[in-house]
């Protein structure tokens, strides 16, 4: 079937419109589970941050057990043990959500193989995170491993958001759209800038005071002031790219639904920037840092949703 060329330089490929009969009845359930997966992985980012911010990173000093003699935290381990064990317990919630998502994905695997592929990757990400978490503990909170732990979670949030958007498209029966070249370039640059922003955030955190434990824990030997400035400049560049993408998307009538996501993303980025400046000059107090960390998960999801809508409609 040939593609259609509507106004605005957008191509509609009718071959990408799935049959909504039969297994398509499972799509609403898969859509809800995609939301659950995104929220659960975002929650892991927040609880992992709380472990770090409360100095509970070694509350359970070994892995996979909490101690050599116990799988769970004990009263003698105090609040730090409870916080770290609680974060580990969240893994069971993630496994349950990821497994349910995989089962629903299996039900539509023939008609929607790309949706099923996303559910497989989301499921594989959970044991991978568990292993990385274990390595984090066994390497005494090595900041590089901690950073990888966070970035994988952010990646899973992105994949879950893609599943949210794509199941919504399949349910609505919307065709896939091909954006004009300037829009594709702008959104691609936004994706790259966001990835750089999140990565620099992990380096900055790894060089800062919130190492995850009250003792002497290794940190990145980086100049914090220089890293903070680099992080800020990339944040400014990312914000400007959001504005550029808003202009580009507005020029294509078929892309305009993406404007809502980009507008929300712009508001969140501005709030994150203001909070980032505040926490830097206030000496990185715990509560603003925790909110900033939550904001990073929101940004990862919003960027994924904005790019998916902007590129594919």
Q: Is the domain of 134 the same as that of 241? A: no
Overall domain count for the chain: 2
Q: Is the domain of 8 the same as that of 111? A: no
Read off the DSSP letter of residue 4.
B
Q: Is the domain of 42 the same as that of 115? A: yes
Among 140, 173, 206, the domain-final residue is 173
233 alpha-carbon distance from chain centroid: 21
Q: Is the domain of 148 the same as that of 186? A: no
pLDDT tens-digit map of 64-119 = 888 887 888 877 777 888 888 888 888 899 999 999 999 999 999 999 999 999 99
Q: Is the domain of 159 the same as that of 57? A: yes
Residues above pLDDT 70, as percent of the chain: 88
> Cα angle vertex 96, ends 141, 52, to 5°?
20
* Residue 135 structure tokens: 């390595």
Q: Is the domain of 256 the same as that of 214? A: yes
User: Average of pLDDT values for 119-129?
Assistant: 95
CA-to-CA distance for 88 and 15, rounded, in angstroms?
44
Q: Is the domain of 124 the same as that of 180? A: no
Among 129, 146, 173, the domain-final residue is 173
Residue 265 CB neighbours (<10 A): 26
Q: What is the pLDDT of residue 55?
A: 77
Residue 34 CB neighbours (<10 A): 28
Q: Is the domain of 196 the same as that of 276? A: yes
pTM: 0.87
Among 173, 199, 230, the domain-final residue is 173
pLDDT tens-digit map of 258-294 = 888 999 999 999 999 999 989 888 888 888 888 999 9
Tell me which residue range forms the domain holding 76: 20-173
């Amino acid at each position: 079937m040939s593609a259609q060329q509507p106004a605005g330089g957008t191509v509609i490929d009718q071959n990408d419109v799935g049959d909504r009969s039969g297994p398509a009845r499972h799509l609403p359930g898969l859509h809800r589970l995609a939301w659950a997966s995104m929220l659960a992985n975002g929650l892991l980012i927040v609880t992992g941050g709380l472990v770090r911010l409360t100095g509970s990173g070694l509350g359970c000093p070994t892995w996979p057990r909490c101690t050599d003699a116990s799988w769970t935290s004990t009263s003698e381990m105090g609040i730090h043990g409870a916080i770290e064990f609680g974060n580990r317990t969240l893994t069971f919630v993630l496994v349950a959500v990821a497994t349910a998502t995989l089962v629903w994905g299996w039900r539509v695997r023939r008609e929607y193989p790309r949706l099923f592929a996303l559910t497989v990757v989301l499921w594989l990400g959970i044991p991978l995170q568990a292993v990385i978490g274990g390595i984090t503990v066994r390497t005494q909170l090595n900041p590089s491993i901690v950073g990888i732990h966070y970035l994988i979670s952010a990646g899973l949030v992105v994949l879950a958001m893609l599943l949210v958007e794509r199941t919504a498209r399949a349910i609505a029966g919307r065709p896939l759209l091909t954006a004009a070249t300037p829009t594709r370039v702008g959104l691609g640059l936004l994706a790259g800038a966001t990835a750089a922003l999140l990565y620099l955030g992990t380096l900055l955190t790894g060089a800062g005071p919130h190492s995850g434990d009250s003792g002497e824990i290794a940190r990145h030997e980086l100049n914090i002031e220089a890293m903070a400035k680099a992080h800020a400049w990339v944040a400014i560049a990312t914000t400007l790219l959001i504005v550029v993408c808003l202009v580009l998307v507005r020029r294509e009538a078929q892309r305009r639904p993406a404007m809502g996501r980009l507008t929300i993303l712009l508001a969140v980025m501005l709030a994150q920037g203001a909070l980032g400046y505040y926490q830097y000059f206030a000496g990185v107090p715990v509560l603003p840092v925790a909110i900033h960390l939550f904001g990073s998960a929101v940004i990862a999801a919003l960027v994924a949703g904005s790019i998916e809508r902007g590129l594919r409609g």
